[in-house]
């Protein structure tokens, strides 16, 4: 009886994941038995309800007195994983909401599949957030990746969608193989797949296996760099974003990227952080390499975005640059800020979610009106849909990092972190590349307000898209008015579990 109670208690900790699995199974069966003529929007709404239920279960697990270890320490429930799970679920919820009324059978033949495939994709991201073992981590990674390949290919009759999905599949498979190869070195050296045990074993392997430790790190960094679309491993992003259904492009830009960062934190902090490598050359080299990747991503993303005329491709390169900004708090770890950089990272990640979801929602409104996603489609938007144009201005202010916006304070806190850790070159590069980004972000504003040669077309804003646009715009603005409150709230969540990344 006691053993049974323990099993039930363990299952209760997995309710967020189990609720998604149950919802996906029920909706797949419902899709099979529903008559062909019945609208699949009901499946979309039920998908959204399943996501909300899962989110409620996550909220109930916030602030545990200690980290909960499940499945022989291969699955970890702590505030780090809970915050990332909330992020994944919120992003997925927005994608479902934006899709309601937007996806059409003429473009996506199997709309029911489109909706419930988002659930296993979100589940993969949640598994990645809680993984304490290389095997569990890889299972979550592949669950997210495989469902993402399918979602990108949902526009079966579209040549660009097919090409983007094929490119994503091939390059995603290669990156997964590179990650697995790096993991195999770690397993061979440590004799375990558990992150805690590997982290404890690695310092004792120096100097005998120092070269292999470097090899495993760079293999993992390259593979994870692909997953978060950070330069120089970003070449898939613009073509995949352009070919994918626009809500799925938003999913890749926000949810998939966040899950990739969850892995980065889990793996690199657990293996190379804290006191295990304190003062060693390996620790400084590892986090310096991450800082260099951040710098490359910021420069490449912003400068290539300058010449883009397609809004999806522009947002893809903007995502590359933002991957660089989000890498900065990780790269500055080795200089001594063991915990404060995580709060900065989460704050900017929250701002990133709302400003990107809002931008993609406005793009979907333009796509419905114009039939394409070119930047010129924003021409004269203020005169055709003034409220949507005003909301887009608020979103652009956050994207560009203009004062009194969530995006500004997100970057500001990260820059302050680089100053505190004496990484002045990285902070200066963030400022310089943010200035460069003003040109292409305000190119969107110029199209909306200053173009007189546009061809007017009717702009209809559906209720789900209107809610998404204004919710994202107002939350992004609110983050700029109460940044300290949000930052302190993030820090207070970790007050009881300061060892959120110590395995």
Buried/exposed code over 327-340 (b: 16+ C-beta within 10 A; e: otherwise) = bbbbbbbbbebeeb
**Tens-digit pLDDT string for the chain (503 aa):** 545 454 566 788 889 999 999 999 999 999 889 888 888 889 999 999 999 999 999 998 887 667 778 878 788 888 888 889 999 999 999 999 999 888 887 778 888 889 999 999 999 999 999 888 999 999 999 999 999 999 998 888 888 888 888 999 999 999 999 999 999 999 999 888 888 888 888 888 877 888 898 899 999 999 999 999 898 888 899 999 998 999 999 999 999 999 998 888 888 877 876 555 666 677 778 888 889 999 999 999 999 999 999 999 999 999 999 999 999 988 886 544 444 577 888 889 999 999 999 999 999 999 888 888 888 888 888 888 889 999 999 999 999 888 888 889 989 989 888 888 888 899 999 999 999 999 999 989 998 888 777 777 778 888 889 999 999 999 999 998 888 888 888 777 765 444 555 45
Task: Return d(Cα 208, Cα 454) in angstroms, integer.
Answer: 67
Residue linked to tokens 């899962």: 54
Q: How many helices (H) and strands (E) does the chain have?
A: 22, 2
Give the N- to C-terminal CA distance of the chain in Å, as an integer.
30
Q: Is the separation of the CB atoms in 272 and 217 below 8 Å?
A: yes
Phi–psi pair at 374, nearest 5 degrees: -70, 155
The whole-angstrom separation of Cα 82 and Cα 411 is 23
Which are the contacts of 51, defined by CB distance < 8 A and separation ≥ 6? Answer: 20, 89, 92, 93, 96, 119, 122
Please give the Cα distance from 219 to 213 (Å, whole number). Answer: 10
Rounded CA-CA distance 31/26 in Å is 9
For 90, list phi and psi in degrees, rounded to 5: -65, -45
What number of residues does the chain have?
503
Q: pTM for the whole thing?
A: 0.92
DSSP SS3 for 233: coil
Three-point CA angle 145, 166, 290, nearest 5°: 50
pLDDT at 494: 65
Are 142 and 176 in contact by the 8 Å Cβ rule? The answer is yes
CA-based angle 347:13:196, to the nearest 5?
70
Tokens of 26: 């029920």
């Amino acid at each position: 009886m006691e053993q049974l109670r323990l099993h039930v208690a363990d299952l209760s900790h997995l309710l967020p994941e189990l609720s998604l699995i149950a919802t996906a199974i029920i909706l797949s069966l419902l899709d099979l038995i529903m008559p062909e003529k019945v609208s699949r929007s009901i499946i979309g709404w039920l998908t959204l309800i399943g996501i909300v239920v899962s989110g409620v279960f996550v909220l109930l697990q916030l602030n545990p007195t200690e980290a909960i270890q499940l499945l022989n320490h291969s699955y970890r429930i702590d505030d780090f994983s809970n915050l990332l799970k909330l992020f994944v679920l919120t992003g997925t919820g927005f994608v479902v909401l934006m899709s309601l009324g937007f996806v059409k059978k003429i473009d996506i033949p199997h709309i029911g599949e489109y909706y419930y495939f988002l659930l296993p994709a979100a589940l993969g991201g949640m598994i990645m957030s809680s993984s304490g073992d290389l095997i569990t981590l890889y299972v979550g990674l592949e669950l997210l990746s495989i469902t993402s390949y399918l979602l990108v290919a949902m526009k079966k009759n579209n040549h660009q969608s097919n090409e983007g999905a094929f490119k994503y599949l091939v390059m995603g498979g290669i990156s997964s193989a590179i990650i697995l190869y790096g993991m195999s070195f770690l397993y061979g050296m440590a004799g375990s797949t558990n992150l805690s045990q590997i982290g404890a074993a690695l310092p004792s392997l120096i100097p005998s296996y120092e070269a292999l430790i470097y090899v495993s790190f760079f293999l993992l960094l390259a593979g994870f760099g692909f997953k978060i679309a950070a330069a120089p491993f970003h070449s898939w992003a613009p073509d995949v974003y352009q070919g994918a259904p626009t809500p799925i492009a938003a999913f890749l830009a926000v949810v998939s990227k966040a899950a990739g960062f969850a892995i980065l934190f889990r793996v690199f902090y657990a293996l190379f952080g804290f006191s295990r490598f304190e003062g060693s050359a390996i620790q400084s080299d590892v986090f310096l390499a991450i800082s260099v990747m951040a710098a490359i991503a910021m420069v490449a993303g912003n400068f290539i975005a300058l010449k883009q005329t397609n809004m999806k491709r522009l947002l893809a390169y903007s995502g590359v640059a933002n991957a660089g900004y989000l890498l900065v708090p990780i790269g500055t770890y080795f200089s001594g800020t063991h915990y404060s950089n995580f709060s900065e990272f989460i704050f900017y990640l929250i701002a990133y979610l709302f400003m990107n979801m809002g931008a993609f929602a406005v793009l979907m409104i333009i796509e419905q009106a114009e039939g394409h996603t070119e930047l010129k489609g924003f021409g004269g938007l203020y005169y055709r849909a003034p409220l949507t144009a005003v909301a887009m201005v608020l979103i652009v202010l956050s994207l560009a990092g203009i004062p009194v916006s969530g995006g500004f304070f997100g970057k500001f806190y990260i820059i302050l972190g680089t100053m505190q850790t004496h990484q002045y070159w990285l902070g200066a590069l963030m400022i310089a590349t943010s200035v460069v980004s003003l040109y292409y972000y305000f190119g969107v504003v110029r199209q909306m307000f200053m173009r007189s040669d546009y061809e007017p077309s009717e702009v209809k804003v559906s209720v789900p898209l209107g809610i998404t646009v204004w919710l994202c715009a107002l939350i992004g603005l609110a983050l700029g008015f109460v940044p300290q409150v949000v930052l302190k709230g993030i820090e207070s969540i970790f007050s009881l579990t300061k060892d959120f990344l110590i395995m």
